[in-house]
Chain A
Amino acid sequence: MRNKYSLFSLVKNAFSYHENWEKAWKDPEPKKEYDAIIVGGGGHGLATAYYLAKKHDMKNIAVVEKGWIGGGNTGRNTTIIRSNYLWDASAGLYDHALKIWESLSQELNYNVMFSQRGVMNLAHNLQDVRDLKRRTHANRLNGIDAVYLNTEQVKKFCPIINTSPDIRYPVLGGTLQRRAGTARHDAVAWGYARGADEMGVDIIQNCEVKGIKRNGDSVEGIETTKGFIKAKKIGVVAAGHSSVIANMAGLKLPLESKPLQALVSEPVKPIIDTVVMSNAVHAYVSQSDKGELVIGAGTDDYVSYSQKGSHDIVEGTLNAILELYPIFSRMRMLRQWGGIVDICPDASPIISKTSIKGLYFNCGWGTGGFKATPGSGDLFAHTIANDEPHKLNAAFNLNRFVSGDLVDEHGAAAVAH
């Protein structure tokens, strides 16, 4: 049994200069065979393994990761968590995740620094106002907290916003979800990894999948850089590289992988205590606990796996940020990076079985997967363990692209994709 993190353990380890903390997870070599293998050691993959072990009594599980855990989009996103989606299916999915977030630190005995500082979405034109009011009503009918704010209320909630009617895209109002907020992204991966490892899950890093072995219509295992590993069930949670893995199994997915950028400023004293997003001008900003402004930009419109985007995208985002927050005009940006996001035609994820028995995909989260991490893992684990979807992810199947029953969150997702 692993030592519990507590004030007592902190004090105890202080006496040995914090040099004797035990490892949070082992670094095992792969076994020959597993009951289930999760491909992709990001937050979603680790959460899937965690819930498979915890709720579905599967213990012989491996997570294979080509780099290091949490080193992909889990460590690259802007950590925004909210559930104010328009459609019922999305509201169910994302609010399921938000409810798990609310007690996740306690459950994992790992501080994921979940901070319900609220997320505000701004309206800049009449159509925005109508859309956001409609979404507020839809949210409340689904039991999700949402309020509509007028310009004065926006200013009161976040005083540094320029609400002058003279700017290019004036602030006409906004929505606020108070239960929404941010979390520490690395801690989510590490917390789930520690929890899964404790229940016997093998977390295998630096192990890249090179092929998926099929026997007719079912899977037999994966070829990796550490050799062949046999498995009856394979769950792929590879984000931007989902199509690459799908191609190995002879599948095609309705995805396009594109660069999405984010940047952080030099750290400053607390200046913005919430998250503000704006669909029309595509700028969103929050402040990390270190004091950096965390700014999210948009995607480039071409397919790329290069993990770097175009400067004009960043420039456009910073133009919008400066118009909305003139106070930031002298801030210097410290770092800027890109991640590869897999975008579905309807901007909703896929958590689904495939035409190949034992092969499951959790992908298509596009620009907004971090917020769903706990819910996604929980529902994907359910789908893998029972070979059928949970009612909350039934709508997010692969077959919707054939049936036409899309969950069209483009534009409704509160930020442009």
Chain B
Amino acid sequence: MFLIECPYCGEREQSEFKAGGEAHIIRPKQPTELSDDQWAEYLFMRKNIKGMQFERWVHTHGCRKWFNVVRDTSNDIIKAVYKMGEKPPTK
């Protein structure tokens, strides 16, 4: 268990949140024009990184807003939190 700094509510226990998986996977504009391989890539394939992961979380038991987190998945230390629509931190 770890703490997450909700950009709207402040620091809360992780159990108040729900993980939304890898962030910045853009839904294809025209799914009908994709090959099966491309659709599978969008729908199922994941980086599943051991290290810095850009991911989405939602504050289910709080403000219910979605936001992004940069977390080291090898030790669960959170490096950055940023709102939806904001540019991911480069460092």
Which A residues have a C-beta under 8 Å from some C-beta of B? 241, 243-244, 247, 252-257, 300-306, 308-312, 342, 345, 401-404
Among A243, A253, A255, A402, residue most surrounded by chain B Cβ atoms (within 10 Å): A402
Q: How far is the CA of A257 from the CA of B48 in the complex (A)?
A: 7
Known contacts A302-B19, A312-B1, A402-B40; A255/B55 CB under 8 A: no
A402 neighbours in B (Cβ, 8 Å) = 36-37, 39-40
Given A241-B50, A302-B55, A304-B76, A252 contacting B41 (CB threshold 8 A): yes
B1 touches A303 (CB 8 A): no
Tell me, yes or no, whether B45 is within 8 Å of chain A by CB. yes
- Cross-chain pairs A/B with CB under 8 angstroms, 26 sampled: A243-B46, A243-B48, A243-B50, A252-B45, A252-B47, A253-B45, A253-B46, A253-B48, A254-B46, A256-B21, A300-B19, A301-B18, A301-B19, A302-B14, A302-B19, A302-B55, A303-B21, A304-B76, A306-B76, A342-B48, A345-B43, A401-B44, A401-B45, A402-B37, A402-B39, A403-B36
Residues of A within 8 A of B44 (CB): 254, 345, 401
CB under 8 Å from chain A, chain B span 36-67: 36-37, 39-41, 43-50, 53, 55
Q: Which residues of A contact B73 (CB under 8 A)?
A: 257, 303-306
Q: Are A255 and B40 in contact (CB under 8 A)?
A: no
Give the residues in chain B near A308, CB-CB below 8 Å: 76
Query: Is B55 touching A303 in the complex (CB atoms < 8 A)?
Result: yes
B58 vs chain A, min Cβ distance (A): 11
Q: Which residue numbers of B lie inside 8 Å of A, CB to CB?
A: 1, 13-15, 18-19, 21-22, 36-37, 39-41, 43-50, 53, 55, 71, 73-76
Besides A300-B19, A303-B73, A304-B76, 17 other CB < 8 A contacts? A241-B50, A244-B48, A252-B45, A253-B48, A254-B45, A256-B48, A301-B18, A302-B14, A302-B55, A303-B19, A303-B21, A303-B53, A305-B73, A311-B1, A401-B43, A401-B44, A402-B37
Report the number of A-B residue pairs with Cβ-Cβ less than 8 Å.
75
When C-beta atoms are compared, the residue in chain A nearest to B17 turns out to be A302
Please measure, in the bound complex, the distance between the C-alpha atom of A1 and the C-alpha atom of B55, giving whole angstroms. 54
Q: A243 contacts which chain B residues (CB < 8 A)?
A: 46-50
Chain B residues within an 8 Å CB radius of A254: 40, 44-46
Contacts of B71 in A (CB 8 A): 302
Q: How far is the CB of A69 from chain B (nearest CB, A)?
A: 21
Give CA–CA (A166, B40) in the complex, Å: 46
Q: A306–B74 contact, CB under 8 A? A: yes
Complex Cα spacing A310 to B75, Å: 13
Q: Which B residues are CB-close (under 8 A) to A401?
A: 40, 43-45
Complex-state Cα separation, A11 to B54, whole angstroms: 60
Write out the residue numbers on chain B whose beta carbons fall within 8 Å of the beta carbon of A304. 73, 76
Shortest Cβ distance from B4 into chain A, in angstroms?
10
A-chain residues with CB within 8 Å of residue B37 when the two chains form the complex: 402
User: Which residues on B sit within 8 Å (CB–CB) of A256?
Assistant: 21, 46, 48
Q: How far is the CA of A407 from the CA of B8 in the complex (A)?
A: 40
- Cβ distance A140 to chain B, nearest Cβ, rounded Å: 33
Check if A310 sits within 8 Å of B14, measured CB to CB: yes
